[in-house]
Structures are given as C-alpha cells and as structure tokens.
Amino acid sequence: MATLMISSSLLLFVAILAAFFASIPTNVAASASTIQAKHVVGAGLGRTGTMSFKESIVQLGLGPAFHMEDAFKHPEFIPLWQELESLSPLELNDSNEPIWWNNESLMTPNKRRVEILSEILLGANNNGEFRSVDSAFLARSSMDFPTCIYFRDIIEVYKQVVTDPREVKVVLTTRSTGNKWAGSVRDSILNWIPSIRQFGMTLTIYTFPLFWNADELAGSTFNRLFPVNLQDYNDKKMELLLSQYHDNWNSYVRTTMQSYANENNLDLDEVFLEFQVQEGWEPLCNFLGAVGNKDKDDNSNNNQLRCPEAGAPYPHVNDKKKYKSFLVCINIFGYLWTLILFYIPLKCTMLIAGGRRSSVGDTAPTEKLKET
C-alpha cells in the first residue's frame, strides 16, 4: 500500500513537472529566415519578464536565446561558470549589500571572460572559430541569470561576429518599481537560497542531478552577487533590501552602458533600451528596427525583422503563480524521492533477511529427524 501511494505521488509530481517545463518556450532551430546581423543582450535581472522577453526575441527571429533554463540543460558548462566567478573577484555576499556598485571588475570587459562566454554562447574554440548557423545550439541572444551579470562582456562576445557594433543591442528589462520586483523574487527564485529554502527542496537538490546542477550554477553567480543571509529577515525588511537591489542594478547598467557608448562614439539610444514587458511589441520592434506587416514590400530585404501583426499579444509566460506551484512540487518531491531512495533498499534488505530466516527455519526440523 505504501509503495502504491509513493508511486502515485511520484507520477503526479512528474506530470506537474512536465507541465511546468512544457509551458516554457523553447529555442527554435536556426533557419534561413533567422536574422544573422543583430544580437540582443539582456541585462535585466531575473523576474523582470525575461522568459516572456526570450519568447518575443525568438518570435522576431533573433533566437536561439540563452536563458537560465539553458544553463541548467548544459551542466558541462558549470566549470566555465565557476571560472567566470573566479575572474570576478567578489566575495560571498554575506553583508547582503549590492556589492557590484563599488566594484569595477564587471564594468570593464575581461579577455578571459569574453573567451569563456564565447565558448558558451557561440561555441568558439581555441582558434577563435564559431559554430555554424546550422549547429544544434547557437545563442544569438541572451537574457536572465547568469548571463545578465556579464552583459558587458557579452557585448564584446557578439561584436566578434558583426561588422557594426550598433548591431549588438542591449535591453534592460525592469519592473515598474523595486517593490514589485522584490515581491516576485521573494515568492520565487529567492526560495533557492540555502538560508531560507525549505528542507524538501534541499533534499531534491542533493539527490537529483538536474537540481544539483542548478544549485551549483547558482552558487557560481547568484549567491556571489545577491543576498544570502536572509534567515533573520521579516517580509518587510526583505522587501526593502530586494527593492534596493533592483534599483541599484538598473542604475549600474545605465552607468555602464553610458560609459560604453561614450568610449565607442555610439548614440546610447541606438544600442540601449529600457523595457517593461507590459509595454508590448512597439518599443521593442522600434528599437530593433523591425517593421510591421503594413510596411512590408514584396521587393524588400528578406532579412528585415518583421514585427507581429497589429494587435498581436505580447508573450506572457512563467508567471509567479506557476512558479510558486513548481516550488511546492519540488519541496514535496524532495521528501518522496528521498523516501524512495531509502525505502526500496531497506525493503529489499528486509525481504532478503526474511528469506534467509525462513530458509534456516525449514532446515531445522530435518536435522533433528536425522539425529533421532
């Protein structure tokens, strides 16, 4: 009976997990219609609509796009993310302060960081050669953790494969207020922080490879740059702290991009856009030079970016409610999965031991008869 209940619960979890990942947009294969000239660098923090932003970029023809989910799918890159961390000399953020603000190590491109990110995003080898357009994975764009932390280096990554630096576009996705971002983060990705995550999630992480990889990746980026000692924070204090992170990060990106534009004699508005996903397609299409169907000309360049038809809804995926449900499942799964890992070997051991005792019991009367 217990085995049946565990199996049923596990199957239910797998179904919920599959439904969650099925709702996440996937990268489409590169095709002849994919625009090769432009590359988009997402500088916005996670929980600023980055998954919806990814979907919009892919729809516009600027995919595949590298998102946090892609980092999870490629555990072979974990040593590279860890090396990136070592090249960004930031101590573990025990003070819970937005420490990038006083640190210029990420504001200035680093040659080795650019090489590592070129390998991750473009498949660059030691000879500086890149994957072909038809390869299994070639990230023309990037967004969300952990790539957003290295947005300045990624600009240099994509500048290697364009003829005009203005073709590398940086988009800072934001929330309308720091408080709104704080609420979203508190109820979602912050639950992975070791100091406050539920025990079931810890069990999942330490017994399931996919989530172990995710935790290793977070330890190489998120935990180095964002607050980690949160066990003594109440909701109000935590919201205030996180709100400052959102606002300070956005200021940091603006400052860095202004310096980049000045150093390269570029018009800031040509290479940098602040964007909230509720604004819809128009500002994004205008920034990327996409034209609507009404402007389409049969004799126009086939490589012209095409904006969706007027009235087309902007993508909306990975909302907070779904993510919270996902976290609940992960927590429950931790207990069930650990129980299975220990229950099955224990049950087998008990059956084997019981069989041996039964065997000994069956032979004892026979031996007594022989003696008489």
Q: Residue 79 belongs to a domain with what CATH number?
A: 3.40.50.300
What is the tally of structural domains in the chain? Answer: 1
- Where helices occur in the chain by DSSP H, the ranges are 2-22, 50-59, 68-73, 78-86, 111-122, 151-159, 178-186, 199-207, 209-220, 222-225, 235-263, 268-271, 281-288, 320-371
In a domain, 279, yes or no: yes
Report the sign of the C-alpha dihedral through residues 290, 293, 296, 302, in that order: positive
In a domain, 82, yes or no: yes
In a domain, 12, yes or no: no
The pairs formed by 227-234 with CB atoms below 8 angstroms and a separation of 24 or more are: 227/93, 227/96, 227/193, 228/92, 228/93, 228/94, 228/96, 228/193, 228/194, 228/195, 229/94, 229/96, 229/195, 230/96, 230/190, 230/193, 230/195, 230/196, 231/195, 231/196
Go through 192-228 and write b for each residue having 16 or more CB atoms within 10 A of its CB, e for each that does not: bbbebbbebbbbbbeebeebebbbebbbbbbbbbbbb
Domain that residue 224 falls in:
24-31+38-317
In a domain, 171, yes or no: yes
Distance CA 322, CA 188 (A): 10
In a domain, 264, yes or no: yes
In a domain, 262, yes or no: yes
In a domain, 339, yes or no: no
CB neighbourhood size of 94 (10 A): 9
In a domain, 273, yes or no: yes
Q: What is the pLDDT along the chain (372 residues), one digit of tens a residue?
A: 555 555 555 555 555 555 555 555 555 443 323 445 799 999 999 999 999 999 999 999 999 999 998 888 888 888 898 888 888 755 555 565 655 555 666 778 999 999 999 999 988 766 656 655 445 457 999 999 999 989 999 999 999 989 999 999 999 999 999 999 998 988 888 778 877 888 888 888 888 887 887 787 777 677 666 766 777 778 888 888 889 889 989 999 999 999 999 999 999 999 999 999 999 999 999 999 988 755 555 545 556 788 998 889 999 986 777 777 888 888 888 888 888 877 777 777 777 776 666 655 555 555 554 555
Distance CA 114, CA 130 (A): 13
Distance CA 2, CA 7 (A): 9
Write down the pTM of the prediction: 0.80
